[in-house]
Amino acid sequence: MAGHSQFANIKHRKGAQDAKRSKVFTKLRKEIIIAARSGPPTPDLNPRLRAAIASAKAENLPKDRIEAAIKSAQGNAADDSYEEITYEGYGPGSTAIVVHALSNNRNRTAGELRHIFSKHGGKLGEKGSIAYLFDHVGLVVYKAESIESFDALFNLATSLGAIDLEEGGEGEDKVYTIICSVEDFGKVRDGLYAQYSDGELAKLSWRPKQKVQVDSPELCAKLVSFLNDLEDNDDVQYVEGDFAIVGWRLKIEVRYNSFGGVDSLEALNSRCSSTSLWDDQENAKKLLSERARVEEVLASFRTLEREHADCVELFDMADEGDGEFLGGLWETLTQLERRVGRKKAECMFSGEADNSGCFLVIRPGAGGTESSDWAAMLLRMYVRWAETYHGFTTEIIDKIDGEAAGLKSVTVKMSGRGAYGWMKTESGVHRLVRISPFDSSSRRHTSFASVEVSPIADDTINIEILEKDLRIDTYRASGAGGQHVNKTESAVRITHIPSGIVVQCQTSRSQHQNRAEAYSLLRSRLYEMELQEKEKKMAQEHDSRCDIGWGHQIRSYVMHPYRMVKDLRTGCETGDVDSVLNGDLDKFITATLTYKLSQAQR
């Protein structure tokens, strides 16, 4: 099965590469046909044809296809009756765009380009609508290493009527670009070719009079996607715009908190080097642990800064027309920005249990099947968030299925460094508004479910639990029946009488394992209560006995009559409901962590 999957992946990648190669060959063939028709069909007598053939050979277009294209130019085949068309329009961010196309069906090409412009928030304009922002010029490009004397090239170019000569690139990539008017292009090109042989490129082009530097990640993403779609069109030969995509400078700010007001590594090092450090062993362990955490955070940010610098350097060297390369860099920077955001959020972890794992309990509110199904949707959302976005491991330690669908309750153990620090902001009531899939009349329903989060209390945390305060019940685990039904009383329920906390576990067929897991969950719940007493603000948000309804909700998920997820504490919102329900929660959690930090600093 794995071999089949691997072969399928290879076949898929090869298919994509072949499709792209085919598009390149099609565009090269069109240019050869147009070039052959613009002058003699002999390369020695036709500089444009000579340049087109050189470009085709550079892309490994087979010799027989080159010869066939030249021969086709001498015929009258309707399919090869291409005409050169220039389109103008506005792309994403009101950028000015000029598209040069070779088409044998003007209406088809215009329709396809109009669709691409509209799809990306732009508009295909009339002829002349943005041409005033560009200069229509001729370009002849030579590699610097092929030119012995820059001065000699400059003198010859100006004597032929060139307007300017520009230098670009560095090292082996350094080039000289001779710029001339459209009227003088043929004379300048032929004169330079006679002296220096053929250059790297010779063509008529639209050059923006002024370029706008684009460094907004959002606009860069839109422009890269827009350029990719244009380049994928078979009729488009090249695209010019009045913008320059530059490397995005992510503002990486190292900000972290530490207990006792110590907020710098230097201060921590000073305290850890004190001769009286071990007078208080418990405090010493906390100091050393905090220093290790801060050092780890700083090392992570240095790594991110190096990766960001590499991406910026690649952007500075990139060709604006290389949409695929820019698209790949955009994906890399997008992932880098996500990682920076996560590290910034982790720097806001200030609680003593924030680096622990956690237990997550989800219970539906009133509403029967609707709320039970909403609880199941929340379980899926949090599991995907934990495993896909953060690499945490999850384990369901207790689950009671709903009568018709969904869940009556579920308890999940989430393991991973910082799981509680992230998840603690999710405690509260979550509201869903949608057209019910269980209502034959397709009416809109509102459902509620509560989420409770408590840190995993490890063995180093002293939680006193007296046997006389516990009531331990055993019972048969619930299930669908059949040959796998549990015939022994392996499920365990523990009630802590003073606090009223009830925990249970039935995932294992071993009563001893279930008892140990339930006891661990009880310790975590009691530890959470202790933390709540230390922080009064946390007590309101972690009240596990509040009504599951309107008055205590923290976030609403609306799927009808409009689509929006909104956090009622911070005002953070998005219209991409599907993405959130698939686990993309970092935006909301980070906003809440920032809000709580600002509240604590008042």
DSSP one-letter string for 305-370 = HHHHHHHHHHHHHS-TT-HHHHHHHHHHHHHHHHHHHHHHHHHT--STTTTS-EEEEEEE-SSTHH
Strands 444-455 and 470-475: unpaired
Is 417 in the same domain as 554? yes
Is residue 62 located within the same domain as residue 88?
no
What pLDDT is attached to residue 180? 92
Does residue 341 share a domain with residue 265?
yes
Asked whether residue 180 is domain-assigned, the answer is yes
pLDDT for 5 beyond 70: no
- Based on the structure, what is the number of domains in the chain? 4
Segment 536-552 mean pLDDT = 51
Q: What is the pLDDT of residue 320?
A: 52
Q: Please report, for the domain that includes residue 214, its CATH number.
A: 3.30.70.980
Q: Determine what percent of the chain is predicted with pLDDT higher than 70.
A: 81
Q: According to the per-residue pLDDT averaged within each range, which of 187-191, 255-259, 306-310, 335-339 is highest?
A: 187-191
Contacts for 132 with CB less than 8 Å, ≥ 6 apart:
none
Whether the per-residue pLDDT at 3 is higher than 60: the answer is no
The answer to the question of residue 14 being in a domain is no
Contacts of 31 (CB under 8 A, 6+ apart): 52, 55, 56, 102, 237
Give 538's strand partners: none
Q: Report the range of poorest mean pLDDT among 299-303, 364-368, 480-484.
A: 480-484
Report CA 548 to chain centroid distance, whole Å: 34
pLDDT at position 117 over 70: yes
Is residue 8 domain-resident? no
pLDDT of the residue at 194 = 86
For the stretch 126-152, pLDDT in tens is 888 888 899 888 899 998 888 888 889
* Pair 58, 146 in one domain: no
Report how far apart, in Å, the C-alpha atoms of 551 and of each of 431, 448, 555 are.
11, 11, 12
Q: Are residues 373 and 509 in the same domain?
A: yes
The secondary element (H helix, E strand) that includes residue 220 is helix 217-232
Q: What is the pLDDT of residue 8?
A: 43
Q: How confident is the model at residue 19 (pLDDT cuts 50, 70, 90)?
A: low
Same domain, 201 and 274: no
Is residue 182 located within the same domain as residue 271? no
Rounded Cα gap, residues 6 and 8, in angstroms: 5
Report the side by side order of strands in the sheet with 444-455: 393-401, 407-415, 358-364, 444-455, 428-435, 553-558, 564-567, 573-574
Which range (84-98, 387-401, 522-536) has the least confidence? 522-536
For the cut 50, the answer to whether the pLDDT of residue 520 exceeds it is yes
- On whether residue 15 sits in a domain, the answer given is no
What is the pLDDT, as a whole number, of residue 260?
Answer: 33
Task: Tell me the pLDDT band of 6, cut-offs 50, 70 and 90.
Answer: very low
pLDDT at 34 > cutoff 90 = no
Q: Examine the pLDDT at 396 and tell me if it is beyond 90.
A: yes
Sign of the CA dihedral 452, 457, 462, 467? positive
pLDDT value at 453 more than 70 = yes
Answer yes or no: is pLDDT of 544 > 50.
no
Residue 491 identity (one-letter amino acid): A
**CB burial of residue 316 (10 Å; 0-12, 13-18, 19+):** exposed
* Mean confidence (pLDDT) of the chain: 80
Specify the pLDDT at position 431. Answer: 95
Is residue 250 in a domain?
Answer: no
Q: What is the pLDDT, as a whole number, of residue 412?
A: 95
**464 and 423 inside one domain:** yes
pLDDT higher than threshold 60 for residue 540? no
CATH at 64:
1.10.10.200
503 lies in a domain? yes
- Which pTM does this prediction carry? 0.53
CATH code: domain of residue 457: 3.30.70.1660
Q: What is the mean pLDDT of residues 399-412?
A: 91
**Both tokens of residue 208?**
């923006």
Instruction: Give residue 342's pLDDT band: very low, low, confident or very high (50, 70, 90).
Output: confident
Of residues 11 and 436, the one with the higher pLDDT is 436
Query: Region 296-313: what's the mean pLDDT?
Result: 78
The highest-confidence range among 341-345, 359-363, 547-551, 596-600, by mean pLDDT, is: 359-363
In this predicted structure, what is the pLDDT of residue 549? 53
The Cα 452–Cα 34 span in angstroms is 69
* Residue 495 pLDDT class (50, 70, 90 cuts): very high
The domain boundary residue, chosen from 28, 62, 80: 80
Residue 2 lies in a domain: no
Residues 132 and 55 in one domain: no
Please determine, for residue 379, whether its predicted confidence score (pLDDT) is greater than 90. Answer: yes
- The residue among 205, 214, 215 whose CA lies nearest residue 163 is 205
Is the pLDDT reported for residue 393 higher than 80? yes
Of 86, 69, 77, nearest in space to 34 by CA: 69
User: pLDDT higher for 33 or 359?
Assistant: 359
Q: Identify which has the larger pLDDT, 115 or 532.
A: 115
**Pair 542, 431 in one domain:** yes
- Has residue 353 been placed in a domain? no
Q: Are 62 and 32 in contact (CB under 8 A)?
A: no
- The residue ranking higher by pLDDT, 557 or 261, is 557
The domain boundary, picked from 222, 245, 268, lies at: 245
Confidence of residue 542 (pLDDT cuts 50, 70, 90): very low
pLDDT at residue 324, rounded to an integer = 65
Q: Which of 210, 245, 280 is the last residue of a domain?
A: 245
Q: State residue 12's pLDDT score.
A: 39
Domain that holds residue 322: 259-347
Residues 182 and 287 in one domain: no
> What average pLDDT does range 393-400 have in this prediction?
92
pLDDT greater than 70 at residue 521: yes
Q: Tell me the per-residue pLDDT of 504-514, one tens digit each, with 9 for 90 and over.
A: 988 788 888 88
For residue 535, name the pLDDT band (cuts at 50, 70, 90).
low
Confidence of residue 568 (pLDDT cuts 50, 70, 90): very high
Residue 239 and residue 269 in one domain: no
- The Cα diameter of the chain in Å comes to 104
